Amino acid sequence: MYTLYHHILCPFSRKIRFLLAQKEIHFELIKESFWERRKEFIAINTMGTVPVIFDDHNHHVISGSSVIVEYIEEKHDDSPNYLGDSLLKRAEARKIQMWFDEKFYNEVSKHILKERYFNRFLANRSAPNPETMRLAKYNLNIHLNYLEFLLENRQYLAGDQISIADFAAAGHISTLDYFG
C-alpha cells in the first residue's frame, strides 16, 4: 500500500494517480497544500513539492513525479508496463513525458495555475493577468497542434500502446480543463 501526498490541481500528482489507478495499485491520498510548507511535510520531502509517495511496505519516501514513475514501474514489474517494452519505446515515452512535465508545464500549465488559482484564491486575490493568459492560450494551441501531429500516425502519444506519456498529457490537460 502507498500513501500519496498530492494536490488535486497538480498535473504531476494527477499523472501519478492515473498510473497507480491504471496499474490497479491501492493507495491512500493525502491532500497537501505544499505552498504552506508544513514542517511535517518538509521533514519527509525537503523540496516541499508534490507528488510524494510513501511506500508503506518498506517505509521509503519517493518524491518527484518522474522518479515515482520509475520506482512504481520497477517495483511492480508483474503489472502492465507504461514506460514501454523496448529501449526505443521507453525513450519515446520518457521524451514525451518530459515534454509535458517541462515544456508544456513552463509554457502553459504553470501560468494558468498561477493566474487562475494561486493569485486568485491564495495570494492577492487579483484577477488573472490578461496578457499572461493570452500567452498561455497561444502556447496551448501550439502544443495541441503537436499532439495532433503525434496522433496522426499513432494510436497513443508515444506509440501503439498507452504509456506514461499519455498519463502526463492527461494530468496537464485535465488540470487546464478544470479551469475551462
For 59-93, the pLDDT digits (tens) are 999 999 999 999 999 999 888 899 999 999 999 99
Strand partners, 29: 4
CA-to-CA separations, 136 to 12, 27, 129, 150, in angstroms, rounded: 18, 33, 11, 21
CA-to-CA separations, 23 to 43, 80, 124, in angstroms, rounded: 29, 7, 40
Please state, in angstroms and rounded to a whole number, the distance separating the CA atoms of residues 92 and 176. 24
pLDDT at 122: 64
Neighbours of 97 (CB within 10 A): 26
Rounded mean pLDDT of 15-21? 97
Q: Does residue 134 come out as left (phi exceeding 0), alpha (psi in the -120 to 50 range) or beta?
A: alpha
Share of the chain above pLDDT 70, in %: 97
Neighbours of 75 (CB within 10 A): 16
Is the pTM for the entire model greater than 0.85?
yes
pLDDT bucket at 11, cuts 50 / 70 / 90: very high
Check whether 127 has a pLDDT greater than 80: no
Q: By C-alpha distance, which of 27, 83, 81 is closest to 55?
A: 27
Please state, in angstroms and rounded to a whole number, the distance separating the CA atoms of residues 111 and 1. 34
Backbone angles phi, psi at 49, to 5 degrees: -115, 160
pLDDT bucket at 120, cuts 50 / 70 / 90: low
pLDDT at 89: 96
